[in-house]
Structure 1
Amino acid sequence: MPTCQTVINIIERLAPKKLALQWDNVGLMVGDYSAKVDRILVALTVTPGVMNYAIGRKVDMIISHHPFIFKPLKSIRKDLLSGKMIYDAVKNDIVVYSAHTNLDVASGGVNDLLARCLELEGVEVLETTGEEPLKKIVVFVPRGYEDAVRDAMGNAGAGHIGNYSHCTFNAAGIGTFKPLEKAKPFIGEVGQLERVEEVRIETIAPESLVKKIVSAMLKAHPYEEVAYDVYPVENKGGVFGLGRIGYLKSPLTLGDLCEIIKQKLKVNSLRVIGSLTKKVSKVAVCGGAGGDLVLKAAFLGADVYITGDVKYHEAEEARTVGMALIDAGHYSTEKLILNFLADHLKKELSALGEDVSVEVYDEGEPFVIV
C-alpha cells in the first residue's frame, strides 16, 4: 500500500508546486505524508457532499483542484462549515491534497486539456508565468557502452530540443584514473594508472528531470564511480503559464463554435459576446475564472476567447476591443481534469505495482438555468 507521499510525488511530477501562482495555496492541506493510502477520491472542490461521500466510502485521500484551505485560518470551529470539514477529515484519517494553479499552468494540465478538447492546433501559452531552467549534463563513458548510457538518458527525458528527442553531442578522448586500495574497478588494476578510450556525451535537460536522468545514467553506466558534470546554461527552457491560444482546424462562425463547445463540454447554454455570424479561427482558452486575461487574448490576436466566470466589466472589455467572448462556466471548463487526473494516478500507481482504488466524485454544475 503506497504512502500519501508516493501519491503526492506522482501529482507533483505532473504539476510541480513551484508552478503555482504566488497568491495560491497548494499541496498537503490536512494529514500525514506517511499515511497509507488504499482509496483515493478526486474532486474539483471539497464540499460537505464530497467529505460525506469520502467518509462513507472509507477514502484515505481526497485530491481536489480547488484549495481545501485557501484563506488563512484564525480558528477551526466545528460549528462553521470549513471547520467541520477539517474536523471530519482528521477524525476519519482522511488526507486532503490540493493542486490548483500549478495544475492549470502545467503542461498537460487543465488548459491543455481544454485546448485538446476543442482540437486546437499550434497551441501556445496565453499568459507566461514561468520558465523551466535548463541544465547541461556531461558524462564520460568507456567506448562500447556509450549507446546504452545515451539511450538511458534520452529515455529518461534528456535531449529534447523542439520537435527532436535524444539529442546529444559525442566526442572521443582518453580518460585516466588510478583505482585506490578499496576500489573495485570495472577496468584496470588497483594502484595502476589506467588510460581508457572514452566518449564524452553531453546533452541538455529541464531542471525538473535532472535527478531522474542522472539516476538512469548511473544505472546504465558500467563504472563503479561515474565522472559526470551538471551545470546551468543560458538557453531558454519550456514556458509555463495560464491559458492557451491556438487555431481551429478550419474557420467557423461563432455560432457554430458555440454549438461545438456545448456538445464537447456537455453544457446547455453559454454566455456570448459578439456576432454569431462572425468567422473565427484563432482561439484563446482558460479554464476556470479567466476574465482577467481578456485583453491579453485580444493583444495576441484571438478572434474569440473561451473561459468562465466572466464579470460585466471584463465582458465590456471584450466588446470594446472587438473580440468575441464565450463564457462556458467555471465548472464546465475545469471538469475535464477530473477523469484525466484519476486515470493518470491509476496508471502511475499500477506501474509501481500498487493496487489502489481511484474514484471521481463529480458534483456537477452548481447553477441551474431557469
Structure 2
Amino acid sequence: MQLKELTQYLETVAPLAYQESYDNSGLIVGSFDKEINKALISLDCTEAIVDEAIKNKCDIIISHHPIVFKGLKKLNGSNYVERVIIKAIENKIAIYAIHTNLDAVDNGVNSKICEKIGLQNCHILSPKKNGLKKIVFFVPLAYADIVRTEIFEAGGGQIGNYTNASFNTNGIGTFKGNDFTNAFVGKKNQTHYEDETRIEVLYQAQIESKIIAALLKNHPYEEVAYDIYALDNNLKEVGSGMIGELPEEMDGVKFLHHLKEKMDLSVIRHTEILSKKVKKIAVCGGSGSFLLKNALAANADVFITADFKYHEFFDADGKIIIADIGHFESEQFTQHLLLDIITKKFPNFAIRLTENNTNPIKYLS
C-alpha cells in the first residue's frame, strides 16, 4: 500500500492537531506516495533502529519519539540525529513519529499504562481546552435532514458517547437577489420569505475544513449563511494524563510492588509511602511533573510518571505518592499499542516490533 494510507489512518486515531507546540509528529523522512510493505515499530529512532530496518527489509520506521525536534541546518553526519536521517534516506526508509498526539487521545499511551496496571473507570486527567467549535447554519426545511446528516458524517455532532447531536429551530429567512444571482428559490429583485431550520452542531476544531466542505457541498443555496463559534468547553476525550481506580484499594507498598511487576520495572523513585490505602491512580507517560497539581486536585493517591526533578518531589507534601518509573519505562508498551492499532486496520500488513532497547539510561545493580 502507499505510505499515505497508513499515515492518514494513524492521524484519524491521533490527529496531528493534538500534538504539543514543541513536538514534531508526522512524516519526517519519505514521500506519501511511497509504496510500503513492512514496518518496524520502536519507541525511539536511533542508528541501531535504522540498521534493524535495513536488515529486516522494512520500508518504514514508526517511532513514538521524533528523531528531529529542532530544525537541521546541515546534514553531514556530525551527530546521531543527522546520521539517522542520512542513513534512512540512503536506504529509502521512511520515518514517521506519533508522539504527543498519541499521548493526548483517550485510547493512547496513558490508556495503555492504565490497562497494564489494571485501572478502571479511566478518563483524561487534564482535558484539552479550546478544542471545540460550533457551527450554526440555516437551510430550507426540505433539505434540513440531508445537510444535517452530511455534517454528522463529516464528524460533527459527537459529544462523548453520543453522536448525531444537534439543536434545531424553525423560522423564516429573508433575502433578495439582484440581477446577477441564480437563486435556488425566489425571484430577482424581490424579497423572498423561506421557511428554514437553524441548525447548531458541535465539532472538534481540527475537522473544521471537512465540516464546512460538507455544508457547502450539500446545501442548495447559492450563498450559504453560517456562523462559527469558538468554545471554552473542554474536549473531554483529549488532553494530558489519565486517572482511574484500582478494583480494590491497596497498601501503598503493595501497590508499588504491583506497579513494578506490571510495568516490568527494575527501579521506582518515589516519595514517602503514606499510611492511607491507595485506590485512585493518576498516570502520565513520559515527562509529567507538570500534571502534579491536576493529580492532587483530582484527589489521586498516587501519581505515576517520569523525569521528576529533585525539588519537585517535595511538592508531594505528604498528600500523594509520586512514583517516577522512568521515561522509557513509562512508554515502553506504546510499541505494542501501535502494533494493535495498525494490525486492527491493516491485518495483512507486515509489522515487527524492534528487538533493540533504545533506553539511553542504564542502571548499575
TM bucket by the smaller chain? 0.7 to 0.9
Taking only aligned residues, the RMSD between alpha carbons, in angstroms, comes to 3.9
- Give the match's secondary structure for 2:67: coil
- Give the match's secondary structure for 2:300: coil
- Structure 1 CA distance, aligned partners of 2:107 and 2:99? 14
What residue is the counterpart of 1:285 in the other structure?
Answer: 283
- Give the match's secondary structure for 1:285: strand
Residue 298 of structure 1 pairs with residue 296 of structure 2: yes
Count of aligned residue pairs for this structure pair: 360
| Structure 1 letter corresponding to 2:112 | L
What residue is the counterpart of 1:267 in the other structure?
Answer: 265
Contact 1:19 1:130 in 2 (8 A): no
1:219-298 correspondence to structure 2 within 5 Å: 221=218, 223=220, 227=224, 229-238=226-235, 240-275=238-273, 278-298=276-296
- Structure 1 CA distance, aligned partners of 2:266 and 2:358? 11
Residue 24 of structure 1 pairs with residue 40 of structure 2: no
What residue is the counterpart of 1:328 in the other structure?
Answer: 325
| Structure 2 letter corresponding to 1:8 | T
The CA deviation at 1:41 is: 2.3
Contact 1:153 1:217 in 2 (8 A): yes
Q: 1:170 to 1:299 in 2, by over 3 A?
A: closer
- Structure 2 CA distance, aligned partners of 1:237 and 1:204? 12
Aligned with 2:336 (options 310, 331, 339)? 339
- Structure 1 CA distance, aligned partners of 2:232 and 2:287? 33
Q: What percent of counterpart residues are identical?
A: 31
- Structure 1 CA distance, aligned partners of 2:71 and 2:219? 52
Contact 1:158 1:204 in 2 (8 A): yes
What residue is the counterpart of 2:41 in the other structure?
Answer: 42
The CA deviation at 1:45 is: 0.2
Aligned with 1:359 (options 337, 344, 352)? 352
| 1:45-100 C-alpha deviation (Å, 9 max, x unpaired) | 01222111111222222221112123444543346433322221011111212232
Residue 63 of structure 1 pairs with residue 62 of structure 2: yes
Q: 1:339 to 1:146 in 2, by over 3 A?
A: farther
Residue 106 of structure 1 pairs with residue 105 of structure 2: yes
| Structure 2 letter corresponding to 1:94 | I
- Structure 1 CA distance, aligned partners of 2:128 and 2:174? 46
The CA deviation at 1:37 is: 2.9
The CA deviation at 1:294 is: 3.7
The CA deviation at 1:306 is: 0.6
1:156-175 correspondence to structure 2 within 5 Å: 156-161=154-159, 164-172=162-170
Q: 1:27 to 1:155 in 2, by over 3 A?
A: closer
Residue 123 of structure 1 pairs with residue 120 of structure 2: no
- Give the match's secondary structure for 2:165: coil
| 1:215-272 C-alpha deviation (Å, 9 max, x unpaired) | 55677x4859684624124452416543223443442221332243234323354333
Contact 2:119 2:244 in 1 (8 A): no
Structure 1-normalised TM-score? Answer: 0.78
Q: Which moved more, 1:168-177 or 1:99-108?
A: 168-177
Structure 1, unaligned runs of 5 or more = none
Contact 1:139 1:202 in 2 (8 A): no
- Structure 2 CA distance, aligned partners of 1:358 and 1:224? 49
Contact 1:267 1:332 in 2 (8 A): yes
1:182-193 correspondence to structure 2 within 5 Å: none
Contact 1:29 1:98 in 2 (8 A): yes
| 1:125-152 C-alpha deviation (Å, 9 max, x unpaired) | 24x6643031224252553x64454444
| Structure 2 letter corresponding to 1:165 | T
Q: 1:233 to 1:364 in 2, by over 3 A?
A: same
Structure 2, unaligned runs of 5 or more = none
| 1:285-343 C-alpha deviation (Å, 9 max, x unpaired) | 1101324544553354322111123343333433x444212222222321232232233
- Structure 2 CA distance, aligned partners of 1:30 and 1:260? 40
Q: 1:84 to 1:209 in 2, by over 3 A?
A: closer
- Give the match's secondary structure for 2:110: helix
What residue is the counterpart of 1:204 in the other structure?
Answer: 202
Contact 2:246 2:279 in 1 (8 A): yes
- Structure 1 CA distance, aligned partners of 2:132 and 2:321? 36
